[in-house]
Structure 1
């Protein structure tokens, strides 16, 4: 006998519960996922901000490597200016990427955090690449000191009078209560080429006088910088020189890598910072990463190269890819070491590729001697006749147009500036690509015809 069926009312609650429960769980899961995604997105944004600031603005993380003595010297020099009102001048000398700007920024940061240092240190930052003459430099000094309204329409007889007026406007009573001014001259060697070195003379002259406390710090990569100074300028310079050299070994280089990639202790999300820093530790122990950094270290000890590598790698970090991997660093190194000229070849037409191959063969046959368009055209014609290909049989004006395009792309360079009367076909040129670059570019060229590749690979030209 069958058991009597349950009334519908008894089954309804169970079925309703079964229908309702999954949506509730789904909604909760989505909410949790949304919250975690929001948190990680905020963390990723903070990571990108902190590391980009560090890599792009020479803001070193932690202590500086191999600069303890230089750091102490510069810190004491600037402390005496800000605390005691002493005037000084010094040069920071070292190769590009040795940490000159990082050292100065680190010292200024620590200087501002000292209790006995007044907060009214005025900084004027000039760059020889931007302030190309004394007039532009003086205008920038006025702007950074915020004295445009004080100067107004006043007319000064000389540069020295104008600069003296600016510093006089900053004075407050005696020397000890006057506002100290720090002048930072980046690319210092370019200021040497200003007319009569007037800017340098006046800045060094003021730094020796007992008026406004002024310190001048120059940053340069020229070892012979003192020999470029005029006698009157050199006599007013204090001859303090701080030398920086990339003297660290690969073991210290790996420590720098880990430190530069690590997040600070004050990062908002402590758990994420711990996870990120643990990942940085694992990366520094990874054999693949060490191989990448070894190649970079052997090529250049320049820390800016390391910063660029890390910048490219960090740009791959996202919400869905929150931690760096060895593959990210490999890809960043590949992008960093890619040949820009060879990359241009990937976008050329087959005709332009053929002309480059013709030039390559001419370089091999004539041992790197210059060539002209007519020689390249003749070489190209021999290839067409040998292969009997009608698809490559272009008229001479079209081939000339392709050749001129290579000239515009700076893959080919004329030996001298062409005159109006010179015939274009007979101007002497040289190819700016070597054989290895051409062959490597052809391997990556999309759908390159087989016979063109074979022609490029052949060691002798058909002469």
Structure 2
């Protein structure tokens, strides 16, 4: 009876909104693993059997999980490990070491991280090792409880696997795969990467020790499924304290996803990025606008969040430029139009700018050559222009060939939003001929 009373109780709107904020923020930020991965059953079964043979039977393996960002590589591995660790024997035996190519940028840092995660700092102490292989062999030997059958299996997860291929001599990869192949200790090496050509990056000696097992993930998500995912991310659970508020909220979510303008925003977002994390980045600004006075997400909130997520970073940089720097960008745009994207130099840009000044007879924009050069260098620092590859560094700065890293539409869009842009500069930018 008491549970029913709690279920039927009506909380103040402010408290309901706080609960909504807490539940959805936790859902968006914590990236919890799904109960099951749809469409990846075969890959799940393959990886589970592979890791089970290591965790339970002490068999060494190596495998690569390959797929685009957001395809579910980490989620697949997480779901397999969650299921595997529910088995008593695997939970008691398996040790995990997680490395990331973005963090462990060389083999020395990687070895230190392996030692830390295996809690072997005291065992290593101040020992001096002749090579990386000796150090790794010592770490694995320290894990043994007796014979090989009672050695604890170790799972090495290498995220951003392709970045480890850029380490000097690929020492880490060679030694991990060598241990795996030679069965010195029960070891499983799982690499996660976005690069389809990752095997081409490996040296011959490393490639020969890899099992060449690959699990490919391809995103087969359709837009109706994507819309369903949006609904699922925004819906409140059945055990929400205020049943009536949850019912109204969920009805509002259905209405929101059925709105044509919202559907267009979601379609654009779907076309550019199907990653769940990207979807959370779109929904979070919408959630932040929910309040006691506005207890639902409105279509206008989604439109604003869509504009924020799809904002062009380079076009935003243009809004902070000085008038001179903006004029140089317009001159470069005209040079690109006339010469069909051929590289230019500072002298050409300055001459184009002078033509504009002569036509307008406006001394207001008449700058000295050193000032123009300083503005040009600032544009290069902002990476709005860059030197042509292979251009000689000994060439005078005025004649060094450059390329504009903006297209026509980006320049025009930035000009429309530029605060108090002079009319004559706007007209110059829109004119077909410089």
Q: Please list the CA deviations of residues 338-366 of structure 1 after superposition, one character each: whole Å capped at 9, or x if unmatched.
A: 11111111112222222222222222223
Tell me the CA shift for residue 217 of structure 1. Answer: 0.8
- TM-score, structure 2 as length reference: 0.86
What TM-score do you get using the length of structure 1 for normalisation?
0.81
Q: Does 1:197 align with 2:155?
A: no
CA contact 1:97–1:304 (8 Å) conserved in 2: yes
Tell me the SS of whatever aligns to 1:84.
Answer: coil
Secondary structure of 1:118's aligned partner: helix
Deviation at 1:230, TM superposition (A): 4.2
Aligned mates of 1:121, 1:107 — CA distance in 2: 13
Superimposed CA distance per residue, residues 139-192 of structure 1 (whole angstroms, 9 cap, x where no aligned partner): 110011111111001122332221122122222234454333211011222223
Matches within 5 A, 1:146-185: 146-185=119-158
CA distance in 1, matches of 2:242, 2:182: 51
* Secondary structure class of the residue paired with 2:37: coil
What is residue 397 of structure 2 aligned with on the other side?
Answer: 424
CA contact (8 A) 2:11 2:242 kept: no
Maintained 8 Å contact 2:17/2:290: no
Q: Name the counterpart of 1:37.
A: 14
Listed as ranges, the matches of 1:253-292 within 5 Å are 253-262=226-235, 276-292=249-265
1:246–1:380 CA distance, 2 compared to 1 (3 A): same
> How far apart are residue 457 of structure 1 and its match?
1.0
Any stretches of 5+ residues in structure 1 without a counterpart? 1-32
Residues 399-449 of structure 1 deviation map (CA, whole Å, 9 limit, x = unaligned)? 333233222222222336887864333333222222211111111112111
Match of 1:128 among 90, 96, 101: 101
- 1:460 is displaced (CA, Å) by 1.0
Q: 1:355 to 1:293 in 2, by over 3 A?
A: same
Contact 1:127 1:185 in 2 (8 A): yes
Q: CA deviation at 1:458?
A: 0.9
Deviation, structure 1 residue 82 = 2.9
Matched, 1:306 2:288: no
Aligned match of 2:6: none
The one of 408, 414, 424 equivalent to 1:441 is: 414
Give the one of 103, 107, 111 matched to 2:84. 111
- 1:239, 1:116 → 2: CA distance? 28
Contact 2:314/2:406 (<8 A) preserved = yes
Aligned residue in 2 for 1:19 = none
Q: In the alignment, which residue of structure 1 is the partner of 2:306?
A: 333
Q: Say whether residues 1:48 and 2:28 are aligned partners.
A: no
Equivalent residue of 2:152, what SS? coil
**Alpha carbons 1:191, 1:200 under 8 Å: kept:** yes
Q: Give the structure 2 partner of residue 65 of structure 1.
A: 38
Aligned to 2:374: 401
Deviation at 1:94, TM superposition (A): 1.4
2:266 aligns with one of 280, 293, 308: 293
Q: Describe the superposition over 1:69-113 as per-residue Cα deviations: whole angstroms up to 9, x where unpaired.
A: 111222232233333333322111112221111211222233334
Residue 80 of structure 1 is matched in structure 2 by: 53
Displacement of 1:277 in angstroms is: 4.6
Unaligned runs of 5+ in 2: 1-9
Instruction: Please give the alpha-carbon distance, in whole angstroms, between the structure 2 residues aligned to 1:173 and 1:256.
Output: 50
CA distance in structure 1 between the aligned counterparts of 2:88 and 2:259, rounded to whole angstroms: 43
Q: Whole-Å Cα distance in 2 between the matches of residues 95 and 374 of structure 1?
A: 43
1:291 Cα shift? 1.7
**Residue range with higher mean Cα deviation, 289-298 or 194-203:** 194-203
CA separation in 1, counterparts of 2:336 and 2:416? 20
Aligned partners of 1:142 and 1:166 also within 8 Å: yes
Residue in 2 that maps onto 1:12: none
In the alignment, the residues of structure 1 paired with residue 391 and residue 365 of structure 2 have an alpha-carbon distance, to the nearest angstrom, of 29
Separation in 2, partners of 1:425, 1:64: 58
1:226 aligns with 2:199: yes
The residue correspondences of 1:444-459 to structure 2 (distance < 5 A) are: 444-459=417-432
Q: Following the alignment from structure 1 to structure 2, what is the Cα–Cα distance between the partners of residues 229 and 422?
A: 38
Q: Secondary structure at the match of 1:255?
A: helix
How much has 1:53 moved relative to structure 2?
A: 1.3
d(CA) in 1 for partners of 2:293 and 2:118? 46
Residue-pair matches, total: 425
CA distance in 2, matches of 1:196, 1:415: 31
Alignment partners' CA distance in 2, 1:112 and 1:416: 51
Moved more, 259-268 or 349-358: 259-268
Q: Which structure would you say has the larger Rg?
A: 1
How far apart are the structure 1 equivalents of 2:374 and 2:203?
52
CA contact under 8 A between 1:65 and 1:256: conserved in structure 2? no
